[in-house]
With several copies, the nearest count.
Chain A
Amino acid sequence: MKPEYSPTELLIVLAARLFEDNTSAFIGTGIPMLAASLARKLYTPNLVPIFEFGGVGSQLRHLPRAVGEARTFDRAVWAAGICDIMETAQRGLVEYGFLGAAQIDPYGNLNTTVIGSYDRPKVRLPGSGGGNDVGSLCWRTVILMKHEVKRFVERVDFLTTVGYYRGGDTRYTEAGLPRGSGPFRVVTNLAVLGFDDETKRMKLLALNPGVTVDEVVKNTGFELLIPDEVGENPPPTEEELRVLREEIDPEGFYLTTTEGRILDIVTCTATDSQPLTVAVHRNRRGEIVAVLACDRADTPAACQALCPNL
């Protein structure tokens, strides 16, 4: 019996399987955080997560929700600043980087700035953020994308992060980026893709469960290299899904496949007739499933005792 999983869970699992142990990886918000957490639990226990604003080697006991928050340096070996981190990458010490984008071209060039023209954009996107630095300075960048024709385009509207530039060696010889660095994999909801060694054009490597080559081609807005042998990505295992849902994101902050434990802060009138402020978890139906803390007692049980109706 195959386990059920969401497209997000599939992406996380495929990404988690790409790491090599005892290396470092730039971790951005969202899927990379879950993938790194999963990889550390199941495959690469010594993977060192690096967060751009300074956290290095967090033990990831709690899933971060932002790249600068305390969870990114919780029990870390080093809490630095952004320059020191970016320079560590510039020196060549960060192996992996993860990037998302609104558009990607055949050479892995990315756009996260605008759709349309820069001066009169149809859609203003968030901008480079650390993306360009990650894509420029890490050895291997892994790009996470929704596989759609409007996203896999012949030419990006704005080149935010250089991939293999105009193909071949031009990333190094023309753009001037560090030798040997560049896009490694593109992981989508349909497939895992790579790049041709010579031309550096994108090529299909392995199909996601139940996806056909035709489907991938149809959803790609440029000519994709299709090798004779195309692999198949094994679906998420029960183990992968269990760890992901129960150990990594039990709160359902990123995953929608769990009951959810959504933080809320409420006020009740306590047994002493004074107001009590209480942090609780609600499930997706809005029901309170746990009391976490309150302002006038030290333990959840004591909080509960003060407001038994919670």
Chain B
Amino acid sequence: MQHELFGSPDVEAFRQWLRENKSFELKEKLMSEQEAISRFVHDGDYIGFELYATVRCPMSLVRELVRQGKRNLGVLGQGLQEVDFLLAAGLVNRMDLTYVGYEVYGLSPILRRVVEQGRVKTAEWSNGAIAWRLKAAAMGVPFIPVRSMLGSDMLKTNGAHVMKDPYTGTQVVLLPAIVLDVGFIHVHRADPYGNAQIDGISGFAVELARASKRLIISAEEIVDPEEIRRYPERTVIPYFLVDAVVHAPFGSHPGEMAYLYDRDEPHLRMYMEMIRTEEGTQQYLEEYVYGPKTHEEYIEKVGGWGRMKVLSKLGVKR
């Protein structure tokens, strides 16, 4: 068990960094997955994704990240494919973990192999705690008090402090803020500057966007900035937080995108079958991650735009 914080709670340094590196200039930030990852992600970075692999997840960015083989990454949070790919590719050396598994499909064989072989350092948090740690950073404060995780053994693995509040004596966990080096979010639509809208639940996009030094978003659709200005209350991520905007239709595949397309269940079944073994896992990565050089090639590989059109007819509609 360890107490070192993997990600930084230093909001004072974050202030300085943002002042020096972020601009309010309205400039176009459209670029490919390749360019976004190679410009803004570095070996050793501490990164985080939103939402999770079967739901509105920036999978085209994740696949490119694996392709480029950025190393010694720290990873925040829960995950399915988006974390497992990185684990399977050996790119992660530390992880703040809340959940890695496949819900109805059960445990993650990849996480099991990697952790049971001691190949990655971990600290444990709840889902709420992970989101709240991002929220603290988003608020620009070094910690946030919560009433979750009290009494649990997770506190022994993660170094969070406990105190009684000075007003009522209520016990709280002081969750340390976590500043990400790079955050990745997939959205329904964005303008070329990065102003982004999300339909349906917002997961922890609001918090993760604000807690990231660098922020890469991918979007199903690129819209005119006038569309953004017409409904400014729908902006979930304002442009000045964003470093790169990647146009990635069906970017959440094999996951779903609310109101646009359903998840690719047959593909997921095949994937779960393949990752049972280390060999199958590497074979999946070869075929579907390393093999296709672009998102377009990936779409071709998994069944082409025809299959995407079919998926778009299956999901929940408004």
- A122 — which chain B residues lie within 8 A by C-beta? 116
Q: A145 to chain B: closest CB distance in Å?
A: 16
Contact B200 A79 (CB under 8 A): yes
Q: B139 to chain A: closest CB distance in Å?
A: 5
Which 5 pairs show the lowest CB-CB distances between chains A and B? A176-B171, A175-B151, A54-B201, A92-B15, A90-B140
Give residues 290-318 of B contacting A (CB, 8 Å).
303-307, 309-311, 313-316
Contact B23 A22 (CB under 8 A): yes
Asked if B132 is at the interface (CB within 8 A of a chain A CB), the reply is: yes
B28-53, CB under 8 A of A: which get 1 and which 0? 00000000000000000000000110
- 6 additional contacts, CB 8 Å, given A82-B128, A91-B18? A69-B54, A82-B131, A113-B153, A126-B108, A132-B148, A279-B310
Contact B115 A292 (CB under 8 A): no
Which chain B residues have a beta carbon within 8 Å of chain A's beta carbons? 1, 11-12, 14-16, 18-19, 22-26, 51-52, 54-56, 78, 97-101, 103-104, 107-108, 111-112, 115-116, 118, 124-129, 131-132, 135, 137-141, 146-154, 156-157, 162, 164, 170-172, 193, 195, 200-207, 210, 225, 228-230, 232-233, 235, 238-240, 256, 258-259, 263-266, 303-307, 309-311, 313-316
In the complex, which of the residues A29, A76, A127, A293 contacts B103, with contact meaning CB atoms closer than 8 Å?
A: A29
Contact A124 B111 (CB under 8 A): yes
Q: A269 to chain B: closest CB distance in Å?
A: 13
Number of interface residues of A (CB under 8 A): 95
How far apart sit A46 and B229, CA to CA, in the bound complex (Å)? 15
Closest to B235 in A: A78
Q: B66 to chain A: closest CB distance in Å?
A: 21
Q: Is the interface of A mostly helix, strand, loop or mixed?
A: loop
Asked if A195 is at the interface (CB within 8 A of a chain B CB), the reply is: no
How far apart sit A279 and B315, CA to CA, in the bound complex (Å)? 12
Q: B263 to chain A: closest CB distance in Å?
A: 7
In the complex, which of the residues A22, A87, A254 contacts B24, with contact meaning CB atoms closer than 8 Å?
A: A22
Closest to A156 in B: B153
How far apart sit A254 and B106, CA to CA, in the bound complex (Å)? 12
- Provided the pairs A53-B201, A53-B203, A79-B200 are in contact, do residues A132 and B103 lie with their beta carbons within 8 angstroms? no
Give residues 172-222 of A contacting B (CB, 8 Å).
174-180
Q: B46 to chain A: closest CB distance in Å?
A: 17
How far apart sit A93 and B139, CA to CA, in the bound complex (Å)? 11
Asked if A105 is at the interface (CB within 8 A of a chain B CB), the reply is: no
- B24 — which chain A residues lie within 8 A by C-beta? 22-24, 46-48
Which of A54, A83, A95 is most buried by chain B, counting CB atoms within 10 A of its CB? A83
Contact B116 A65 (CB under 8 A): no
Asked if A67 is at the interface (CB within 8 A of a chain B CB), the reply is: yes
